[in-house]
Every structure is written in C-alpha cells, then in structure tokens.
Structure 1
Amino acid sequence: MRRYVLTGTPGAGKTTLLRGLAELGHEVVEEAATDVIARAQARGEDEPWTRESFIDEIVELQRQRQLAAPGTNSVRFFDRSPLCTLALATYQGRPPSPALTAEIERITTHGVYERQVFFVRNLGFCEPTAARRISFQQSLEFERIHEETYRAFGHELVDVPAVGLARRIAAIDTFVSARRTE
C-alpha cells in the first residue's frame, strides 16, 4: 500500500482535500492532533496543547491509525504524519519526546510513508477555530517549519498550490494515478 501525507500550514484546506479524495474512493486517515484537541476540549480542557503529554498523545493516535487494519485500496492518504508532530514540537519550542523520536525512527526505517509528500499551500488567510488559535502570520511560520522538517528527512514536496478545490483534488489524484503505473 502507498501511504501519502498531506501537510502544510494550518487552515490550508488539508481536511477538505482529504474528504474530496475520499469521495473519489481513496482511503483517508484524519488528522490526529485535531481529534486529541477536540476530546480534551469536550472534557472541559480549553488549551490541551499546553499540556506536557500533548505531543505524545498525538504520536500515539497517529501510530494507532497508521497501524489500523490494512485497507482495500492500494493508496491511503494521511492528514499529517509524525514529522508534522515534530514540526509542531519545534514550533512550540519543545524538544522531541522519546515517543516522538521512536515513532519517527520507526516510520523512517520502515519507509511507512511515500517519499513524495503533498505540501498544501496556504490560502492567504487562516480561519481560527477552537483547535486552531493562531494568526495567519503564525501559520506562515508553522508552514516554514513543516517544509524544513520534511526536507530535512529527505522528502520530496509535491506542491499543491492555492487554487480551486476541484483542481487541487484532481492534481493529487492525477499524481497518484500516474505513480500506480510505475
């Protein structure tokens, strides 16, 4: 199975792209950090990202989802990966935890994700949500850190420019379809 990652700045439309790819019949895996935040906020915790265990909770959920029962398709798309979690830790000024370091070692050693990573470019704004409380300027810094992180691990960034949704989905689908024949 080929596992592709969608990454990029917060609010760039990764989740919307993921849903569009699912509508085309692709298997998709939702972002873990958003779910970790939503669960904590449902328990009354307003800013779970300030908790020391936050990064490790994301890593554990990402690992569980990646190791879930194999799908029926030859391609699966992931809304972020542990390298995104490393970028998040870097952005927050935290050193990588042993759990994060071990997970990055596992996915790197075993080639879990494709070397080509879809880098979804910002849309020129960042809409705040309960889980995303950063300004557009902050999101651009986060975008830069993601780009540097993936490049540092030798990934090829496949640019997904800020064009209409249908064009973005078609570009990703076309890229993946072309790779199936290789």
Structure 2
Amino acid sequence: MSTKNPGLELLETKVDELGLRREVEDEIAQISIENNALTKRYILTGTPGCGKTSTLRSLEVAGYLVIEEAATNIIALRQAQGIAEPWTHPSFIDDITNLQKQRQMQVADLASGVQFYDRSPLCTYALSVWLGFPLSKILADEMERIKQERIYQMQAFFIENLGFCEPSAARKITFEDSLRFEKLHEETYRSFGYECIRVPPRELSARVEQIRRYVSAAG
C-alpha cells in the first residue's frame, strides 16, 4: 500500500507528463528545422514602388513558388470594409503578421526547393516602427519563431528604388519618404543579422537573372 501523499503523486504524474510533452515539442521543433533546411525561403524586400512585385511575377512565371505580400491584401480588405486608412489602426500590424504566418505555414510542407516571399515579418517590424506603433506580442512572437525555426534564408534580396514612386490606393507615400522607408528596411534587416543582396534599378529581365543566378549558385 502506497504511503505517498495523493497530492504529491498527482504532482509527480503531471511533472512526468510535462516532461514528455516537452520532449515531443523539442522533437517537433527539430523536425521543423530539418524540413526548413530542405526548403530555401528567400525574401524580396524594398521600398514601395521599387519594382518588387514585377520581379516576383517574373520569378513566378519562371516556375518558382511565390508567396504574396500580406500588407497590400490587408489594406484592400479593410478599405473594402469601409476603413479608409487601415494603417492608422493598431490592429493593422497584427493583421499583417497573422496573414504572413498563415501563408508561410500553408506551404511549409511543400517540397518546392526554392520559395520567394514578397516581404516578411521583418518588413512588418520596420512598418511598425515607421508608423510609431509599439512592438506587439504577436509580432514579437513571430519574430522569435522565424529566428528559432530558421524559416528564411539569411540573405534577403533588397530591390533598390527606381528613382520615383507612383502613388496608389495602398501606396500613399512621397518619393522622399519612400527613400527614408527604404533605409529603415535595410537597417532593420541588417540589425537582425540578414545580409542584403542589393538588386539595382535596371531592366526587369536583368534583375530576375541576378536573383536566379544567386539562388542557383547557393544550391
């Protein structure tokens, strides 16, 4: 007959279960890291109007998997819902972060070899700073996740500005501000340890070829 305190036995059982759960979580995390190593996820970033979208469309036509930008879609959705300037709402940053994470995880198991991402949570971080919002828990957690799980390649393609910036419904920024925004993005990526592979303003085909050559050489 056991002389142990029933409460102590229950506690020990819970500790054992917790330990097992942590082991499983650690194994899952390791598997995730190994899977991430098989897929090369490259980020394309830059200031609004730099030609990033055209570059990505060309890469998509060439057969690469391209994951769409979240911010533009969130802006379009909120404006359709009657919110003229969604970027003035604190929830804007979390909405973008959640959609970026959702899209990344939806293609996490695809054996596509190379994936190109139209921006990343680091861009969302830069946007949050630009808009003057404090770092939200959702964005902070996602930044930590992509770091711990090594989601993205540490080399990001930085598409340089074209010398002008045409405004649109989702792009209400002057060219002068776009240059400051560009600098903030580059500083953000470098501060988190990323190497910015600069893609200068030139013919679209030349930009695409530069990216394809780099990816091919990287293996």
Q: Which amino acid aligns with 2:58?
A: G
Ranges in structure 1 where 5+ consecutive residues have no aligned partner: none
Task: Give the equivalent residue in structure 2 for 1:82.
Answer: 121
2:48 corresponds to: 10
Structure-2 residue corresponding to 1:155: 194
What SS class does the counterpart of residue 205 from structure 2 fall into?
helix
Counterpart position of 2:12:
none
Amino acid at match of 1:98: K
2:84 aligns with one of 46, 59, 62: 46
Where has structure 1 moved over 4 Å in runs of 4 or more? none
Please give the per-residue CA displacement for 1:36-84, whole angstroms capped at 9, x wherever unaligned.
0011111121111111100000000000001013334200000000000
The offset of 1:13, in angstroms, is 1.0
Larger RCO: 1 or 2 (CA < 8 Å, sep 6+): 1
Are the aligned partners of 2:42 and 2:156 in contact in 1 as well (CA < 8 Å)?
A: yes
Asked if 1:178 corresponds to 2:217, the answer is yes
Is the Cα contact below 8 Å between 2:160 and 2:198 reproduced in 1? yes
Task: Give the corresponding residue for 1:114.
Answer: 153
Amino acid aligned to 2:128: A
For structure 2, the residue ranges without an aligned partner over 5 or more in a row are 1-38
Residue in structure 1 matching 2:67, options 29, 46, 49:
29
**Larger radius of gyration, structure 1 or 2?**
2
Matched residue SS, 2:157: strand
1:109 Cα offset (Å) = 1.1
Q: Going by fraction, where is helix more abundant, 1 or 2?
A: 2
Count of aligned pairs between the two proteins: 180
TM-score (norm 1): 0.97
Q: CA RMSD in A?
A: 0.8
